[in-house]
Amino acid sequence: MFNNDLFSDVKFVVRRRPNGESESKRRKQVIPAHKFVLSISSPVFEAMFYGELAETTDSIELPDCEYDSLLELFRYIYSDEVILSGSNVMEVLYLAKKYMVPSLVDKCAEYLQDNLDATNVFNILPQAQNFDEQNLVDQCWEVIDNETEEAVKSEGLPTIERSLLEAVIERHTLNIQEIELFKAVNSWATKKCEEQGLSADGSEKRRILGERIVKGIRFPLMTEHEFASVVLDCKILTQDEAFNLFKYFNSVPDTPVGFPETKRAGLKELFERCCRFGCVVHTNSGYPYSPGKKDCLIFTVDKDISLLGVTLCGSKNCKYSVAIQIKLNYNYSWIDHCNKAGKFSSVCIKSDLGSYYGFNVFFDSPVDIKKDVRYRLVAAISDGANSCFGQNGQYSVVCSGVRFHFLNSVESSNGTKVERGQFPGFLFTIK
């Protein structure tokens, strides 16, 4: 009986747009149906055909749907089967909601969940919100959190409303570098300007974005180079905002940046972080530095790793002149294995130790660390304010399946040892 004129007592007139043709060339097409069959599956059709205000005509025009989608609704009502695709599932879901066919709603939601990914999440999320499909909404946000960068670079982002973009920007669990998120926001604003026939200059983009979005970007988490080379050219920030951020990047004390400084919780680091202390201590006097003094520690690992860098403790809004050495114990002699020197700005670091001020020193290239070989880590900090320091250090720590073993070094002249001092973190990847 499905899509069959035999015994049909009602016809639905809908428009159909052949592939590649414009809206103006849509043509009408008729789907024959049976009032009784539709009514026993849908209370809306029951009211339409047998209610107090029942339709008396045998031809009903539906301007709010396409032929292919209504055909799938009827296919499901007649046969309990449906042929869903990326091009029709949203409209089938709309019809299933409109005509109150909950089992078909579930089928559509299941199809969307099975085919949801970062490339289409911004096409699906607004519809899921409109249709109040909370499970699907939650799954969309999970995809956005886990695959943020791919999602914001998808073709769906420019189509979303500002309210949804606000929700994305304010989300703490995104997994994306802040500079990439800013680029996506700037592209969204540029697209909206083009759609409205406006000049895509900084003031227009800022107006279209609104303050919630601009103030939600965590500019302090960018590098100074990223900020200078990308953000400034967009001219979305005011002169005072840009000036204060430059002062912040250059560690000018007590600079009011006006933007969130906390790293997003969902941002996945591209390396493992071994934390060797139980806590980091902040005191009034702090941990001192002076020329000629060195912080040293001996360590071994039970698996080959690549050491990308180390974390050092610091103090808020301070810069430090640091020279790092790694020496390898070979035939009872210590030989140079790696050197790194420079000036580093202290920032707020989030780790298993909680929040503390410090800075990461990354080597110019990964340093090969062989298992069961002794290495001595040396830091000479010749310029910088007193800092926080680690306490309750462990002689043995397991991180991501790698066991680090730490030993005191007699060359340490600034107080660092296994139990306390410097080197709260070792940044590495497993070979």
pLDDT at 16: 77
Secondary structure element (H or E) that encloses residue 96, with its range? helix 89-98
Distance, CA of 415 to CA of 409 (rounded, Å): 10
The CA distance from 351 to 333, in Å, is: 35
Give me the amino acid identity at 207. Answer: R
pLDDT value for 26 = 62
Q: What is the CATH number of the domain that holds 426?
A: 2.60.120.820
Residue given tokens 């406006």 in the structure block: 198
Among 115, 143, 170, where does a domain finish?
115
349 contact partners, CB below 8 Å, separation of at least 6: 311, 355, 356, 357, 358, 359, 360, 425
Does 282 lie in the same domain as 422?
A: yes
Residue 297, in any domain of the structure: yes
pLDDT of residue 101: 97
Q: Answer yes or no: is 152 within a domain.
A: yes
Residues 301 and 406 reside in one and the same domain:
yes
| pLDDT for the residue numbered 143 | 93
Check whether residue 165 and residue 244 sit in a common domain.
yes
Considering the domain architecture, whether residues 319 and 419 belong to the same structural domain is answered as yes
Residue 23 domain-assigned?
A: yes
- What residue ranges in 34-149 does DSSP mark as E strands? 59-66
> Is 387 in the same domain as 317?
yes
**One domain, residues 300 and 418:** yes
Q: How far apart are CA 89 and CA 72, in angstroms?
A: 9
Point out the domain boundary residue: 52, 82, 115: 115
**Do 188 and 294 share a domain, yes or no?**
no
Same domain, 380 and 417: yes
Does residue 257 fall inside a structural domain?
no
pLDDT at position 263:
82
Local mean pLDDT, 10-residue blocks, the chain (431 residues): 91 77 67 95 94 86 92 97 93 96 95 92 95 92 93 95 97 93 97 94 96 96 91 95 90 83 78 91 83 94 95 88 94 91 82 82 92 96 90 94 95 95 95 86
Nearest to 376 by CA among 341, 336, 429, 340: 336
Whether residue 173 sits in one domain with residue 64? no
Predicted confidence at residue 406, as pLDDT, reads 97
173, part of any domain: yes
Does one domain contain both 245 and 278? no
What is the per-residue pLDDT for 19? 59
Question: What is the count of structural domains for the chain?
Answer: 3
The pLDDT of residue 413: 95
Domain that holds residue 68: 10-115
Residue 66 belongs to some domain of the structure: yes
Tokens 């990847």 correspond to 429
Do residues 410 and 417 make contact, with C-beta atoms less than 8 angstroms apart?
no
* Residue 123 domain-assigned (yes or no): no
Please tell me whether residues 144 and 110 are part of one structural domain.
no
Residue 174: C-alpha distances to residues 11, 63, 352 (Å): 50, 40, 19
CATH number for 53: 3.30.710.10
Q: What is residue 345's predicted lDDT score, i.e. its pLDDT?
A: 79
Say if 2 falls within a structural domain.
no
pLDDT at position 307: 95
